[in-house]
C-alpha cells in the first residue's frame, strides 16, 4: 500500500538531486546598497519609518530635525529624486501606513531634541536638562542618555495623527486628530477590511495600542497588556514599538524584550479584555525596533543599535541577513518595508536608518540618515 508513495518520493528526490536548483539559497549577508542618503547640510538626521506607494515610490518619515516626509521617486533608478512633504505643528514624525490607495496616515509630535532646537524656537524649560545630559552623554552614557533626550523630551500632549493624500497633483495634508493623552505614538498599522477605516497606533511611552477611526478622529484603547511594557529594569524603557496586522492578529515588537508577539483582535481591531498575547519570535539582540512580516510569515527585524537586519521564523531567534555591529551598512536601522511587487522591487527590502545618531559605529563613526535596498533574491 505504501509502496507507490515511496517510489514517488524516491523519484522526486532523485530529480531534485539531478537537476541543479534554479535559485540557490542566497549567501549571507545579502547584498545591500545605499540608495538615498542625506548630507551634512542638515545635521543630526534620523529617519524613523517607511511606507511604499503602489507605484514603488518611498515615503520615509523623519523623526528629527523636522516633521518631514521624504517622498523618494524611482528609488532603484540610481539617482532617485526626492521631494519633501512637511507636517504642521510638529517637529518629528514616526509611523506611517497606507489607509487607501495613495492615502497615508502618519504620526507627528513635538520633540525637544537637540538638533530640533536649532530649527525651532528653543524650548527653554528643557534646555538645562539637555545640557547636563549631553555632558554626561558625551562621557559614557552616550546611547542611553541621548535616547532619553530624544524620547523623554517628547513634549507631553503634542502627539497627533495626520493624513497625507497623494491622489491629486500636489500632496495635501489633514489633521485626523490630536491625541493629547498619548505618550509617544510610534508604529502604525491598518485594521484590515474595517469600514469606516481605522488604524492601530503603538504608544511606546504608555505601553498601549490605540485604535483611531481615521474618518471621525475618534480614538480609544485597542490593547493594553503586560507584553507591551518595557522590561522592568531597563535603562532605556521601551516596550511596544512596531505594529502590523495580519489575519485576525495584531503583531507587535517589544523593544526591550527583543521580541515579537501576536494578539487576537476583532474586526474593529480591538483585543478582547481577556485576550492573551503569544510570543512568536525572540530575536537574538539587546533591543529591537520596527519589523515587517514577509509573504512566508518570516519576521524581518530592524535592530537599530545592533546595526543589523535579522530574519526570524516563528519560534526562532533569527539570522543576521544584513549589517554587523562594526559596519555602517544598515547602522541604526529603525524600520523596514518590502517592495510592492513590481518586477524591479519584488525582492527588495528597504531599510531606513537613524544615521547612527545615538550610537556611532565603533564609538566614533557616524553618518546622516539613509535608505538601504537589501536584495533578498534567493533567500529562503
Ligand X SMILES: *[C@@H]1O[C@H](CO)[C@@H](O)[C@H](O)[C@H]1NC(C)=O
Q: Give the residue from 225, 113, 211, 119 showing the smallest Cα distance to 161.
A: 211
Residue for grid cell 524581518 = 300
Query: Which range in 160-168, 221-229, 262-270, 361-369 contacts ligand X by CB under 6 A?
Result: 361-369
Asked if residue 328 binds ligand X (CB under 6 A), the reply is yes
User: Looking at 180, 192, 297, 341, which residue binds ligand X (CB under 6 A)?
Assistant: 180
Please state, in angstroms and rounded to a whole number, the distance separating the CA atoms of residues 83 and 211.
30
Cβ distance to ligand X smaller for residue 70 or 249 = 70
Asked if residue 286 binds ligand X (CB under 6 A), the reply is no
Query: Which range in 194-202, 237-245, 284-292, 323-331 contacts ligand X by CB under 6 A?
Result: 323-331
Residue for grid cell 495613495 = 102
DSSP result, 226-246: GGGSPPTT-SS---EEEEEEE
Asked if residue 365 binds ligand X (CB under 6 A), the reply is yes
Cβ distance to ligand X smaller for residue 85 or 328 = 328
Q: Contacts with ligand X in 127-166 (CB under 6 A)?
A: 156-157
Exposure string over 116-130, b if 16+ CB within 10 A, otherwise e:
bbeeeeebeebeeeb
State in angstroms the smallest separation of the CB of 226 from ligand X: 13
**DSSP-based helix, strand, coil % in the chain, nearest 5:** 15, 40, 45
Number of other CB atoms surrounding residue 288 within 10 Å: 30
Cα-Cα-Cα-Cα torsion 321, 36, 51, 174, nearest 10 degrees, comes to 160
Edge-first strand listing for the sheet containing 240-246: 240-246, 249-254, 259-264, 278-282
Asked if residue 84 binds ligand X (CB under 6 A), the reply is no
Query: Which range in 121-129, 207-215, 263-271, 321-329 contacts ligand X by CB under 6 A?
Result: 321-329
Number of other CB atoms surrounding residue 178 within 10 Å: 17
Asked if residue 236 binds ligand X (CB under 6 A), the reply is no
Query: Which range in 12-20, 93-101, 192-200, 324-332 contacts ligand X by CB under 6 A?
Result: 324-332
Asked if residue 314 binds ligand X (CB under 6 A), the reply is no
List the grid coordinates of 183: 505618550
Asked if residue 229 binds ligand X (CB under 6 A), the reply is no
Q: Contacts with ligand X in 34-63 (CB under 6 A)?
A: 39, 41
Asked if residue 15 binds ligand X (CB under 6 A), the reply is no
Backbone dihedral angles phi then psi of residue 322, each to the nearest 5 degrees? -155, 145
Asked if residue 21 binds ligand X (CB under 6 A), the reply is no
Cβ distance to ligand X smaller for residue 86 or 362 = 362
State in angstroms the smallest separation of the CB of 233 from ligand X: 4
Residues of the shown chain interacting with ligand X in the complex, contacts defined by CB under 6 A: 39, 41, 156-157, 180, 233, 326-328, 361-362, 365
Amino acid at each position: 500500500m505504501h509502496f507507490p508513495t515511496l517510489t514517488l518520493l524516491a523519484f522526486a528526490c532523485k530529480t531534485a538531486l539531478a537537476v541543479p536548483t534554479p535559485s540557490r539559497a542566497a549567501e549571507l549577508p545579502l547584498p545591500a546598497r545605499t540608495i538615498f542618503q542625506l548630507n551634512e547640510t542638515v545635521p543630526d538626521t534620523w529617519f524613523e519609518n517607511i511606507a511604499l506607494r503602489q507605484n514603488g515610490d518611498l515615503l520615509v518619515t523623519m523623526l528629527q530635525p523636522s516633521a518631514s516626509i521624504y517622498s523618494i521617486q524611482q528609488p532603484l533608478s540610481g539617482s532617485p529624486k526626492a521631494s519633501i512633504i512637511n507636517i504642521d505643528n510638529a517637529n518629528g514624525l514616526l509611523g506611517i501606513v497606507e489607509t487607501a490607495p495613495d492615502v497615508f496616515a502618519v504620526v507627528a509630535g513635538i520633540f525637544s531634541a537637540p538638533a530640533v532646537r536649532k530649527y525651532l524656537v528653543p524650548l527653554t524649560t528643557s534646555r538645562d536638562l539637555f545640557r547636563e545630559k549631553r555632558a554626561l552623554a558625551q562621557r559614557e552614557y552616550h546611547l542611553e542618555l541621548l535616547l532619553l533626550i530624544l524620547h523623554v523630551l517628547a513634549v507631553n500632549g503634542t502627539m497627533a495623527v495626520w493624513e497625507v493624500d497623494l491622489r491629486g497633483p500636489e500632496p495635501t495634508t489633514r489633521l485626523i486628530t490630536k491625541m493629547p493623552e498619548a505618550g509617544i505614538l510610534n508604529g502604525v498599522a491598518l485594521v484590515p477590511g474595517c469600514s469606516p477605516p481605522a488604524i492601530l497606533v503603538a504608544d511606546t511611552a504608555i505601553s498601549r495600542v490605540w485604535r483611531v477611526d481615521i474618518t471621525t478622529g475618534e480614538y480609544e484603547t485597542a490593547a493594553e497588556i503586560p507584553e507591551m511594557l518595557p522590561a522592568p529594569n531597563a535603562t532605556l524603557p521601551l516596550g511596544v514599538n512596531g505594529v502590523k496586522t495580519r489575519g485576525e492578529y495584531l503583531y507587535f515588537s517589544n523593544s526591550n524584550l527583543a521580541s515579537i508577539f501576536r494578539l487576537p483582535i476583532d474586526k474593529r481591531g480591538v483585543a478582547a479584555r481577556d485576550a492573551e498575547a503569544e510570543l512568536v519570535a525572540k530575536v537574538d539582540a539587546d533591543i529591537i525596533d520596527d519589523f515587517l512580516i514577509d509573504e512566508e510569515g518570516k519576521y524581518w527585524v530592524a535592530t537599530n543599535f545592533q546595526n543589523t537586519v535579522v530574519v526570524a521564523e516563528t519560534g526562532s531567534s533569527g539570522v543576521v541577513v544584513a549589517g554587523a555591529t562594526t559596519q555602517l551598512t544598515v547602522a541604526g536601522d529603525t524600520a523596514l518595508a518590502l517592495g510592492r511587487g513590481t518586477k524591479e522591487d519584488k525582492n527588495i527590502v528597504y531599510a531606513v536608518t537613524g544615521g547612527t545618531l545615538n550610537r556611532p559605529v565603533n564609538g566614533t563613526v557616524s553618518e546622516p540618515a539613509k535608505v538601504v535596498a537589501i536584495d533578498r533574491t534567493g533567500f529562503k
